[in-house]
Amino acid sequence: MEPLTVGVPRELKAEEHRVALTPDGVRELLHRGVEVLVERGAGVDSSIPDDDFARAGATLVDDAAELWARAGMVCKVKEPLEEEFAHFRDGLVLFTYLHLAAYPAVADALLAGGVTALAYETVEDAHRRLPLLAPMSEVAGRMSVQVGAHFLERHNGGRGVLLGGVPGVHPARVAVIGAGNVGWNAAWMAAGLQAEVHLLDKNADRLRYADQIQMGRIITLTSNRGMMERVIAEADLVIGAVLVPGGRAPTVVTEDMVRAMKPGTVIVDVAIDQGGCVETSHETTHTDPVFERHGVLHYAVGNMPGAVPNTSTHALTNSTLPYVADVAELGPAEACRRDRGLALGVNTAGGAVVNPAVAEALGREPVDVHDALGA
């Protein structure tokens, strides 16, 4: 088969400044015989001007509708918005972060349009890890500490606590819920700033790894309800970093736990783009990032890495490019036949939901991915 033409549109989600491909990514795709279309202005907010894409060999397109129509495969960063649903058509391949458990209306539109939709967040590698979620998890985890420290300052509504303290003064207490990529990076960053860090998880192996690397600088604790209640009540900053691949994030921080926190403390719910792991959370934006509930500031921006788009774009493309190239060159059916982990990235195909975790979250019966791609 002829390679699919890859289209890279400008992101429409509010305050989303990333772009799905870099000029180096364009050059690599062209080397593999894949034509690349880039909407004008797509990379400007990531400090990547149109001329850089043009010099790399991309064809610049003025109109988003033209790009969607000409592309056999569209690569994005965030889930499509309602105004983009009109571009959906049977046979179109879409590769982006989808988080369909949190955005069921997007799932309905993809199914109605017959789109083969692959989600970065459900692709797995040979070790059952999430390689396309990892770079943004690393960014979000590190950012969560930076953001939390900012809102702990008194003029920003916080308790007026310096994260690392000073000699003779107790540092801030940081509770990180979840020891995956987000949690590990958050705990590492907080420890580097000399905060007192408690990292909670149910997985003892993850806690052992953190303990061995940090040599006691991070206090690792097995997560259970009693431990959570005690640690959260004493914390100045709570970072929610719980993930269920493809599914809705579980609520692990209850409203009663929030109510027991000290006034002026801060919660950063990194899991908000999968529904949030804090009962009192709702999604916010970079323009209006926090709200107060029970005296506690909640930060719940759904696209945290979008605040540092130059870093995030390059980190994302480094990970996604090999998969994008395979799907474009081989087609989704053959690429997924060769790579079981990539097949898990397919969320919808042939008008059906195919990823089991996504199907469960949406209350639908999954269809075998290879059958759906064959259809």
CA dist 148 and 158 (Å) reads 9
**Is-contact 354 347, C-beta < 8 A?**
yes
150 is known as an active-site residue = no
Active site residue 63: no
| Helix pair angle (23-31, 309-330), 10° resolution | 10
Q: Where are the alpha helices (DSSP H) in the chain?
A: 23-31, 50-56, 64-70, 104-113, 134-152, 181-192, 204-214, 225-234, 255-259, 309-330, 332-338, 340-343, 356-362, 369-374
Catalytic annotation, pick one of 201, 236, 269, 273: 273
First-to-last alpha carbon distance for the chain, in angstroms, is: 17
Classify the C-alpha dihedral 347-353-356-359 as positive or negative. positive
Say which of 99, 198, 236, 326 is annotated catalytic. Answer: 99
d(CA 276, CA 290): 14
Gap between the Cα atoms of 47 and 25, Å rounded: 15
The contacts of residue 287 (CB under 8 Å, 6+ apart) are: 14, 15
SS3 50: helix
Task: Write down the residue that tokens 């079981």 correspond to.
Answer: 340
Q: What positions carry a catalytic annotation?
A: 99, 273
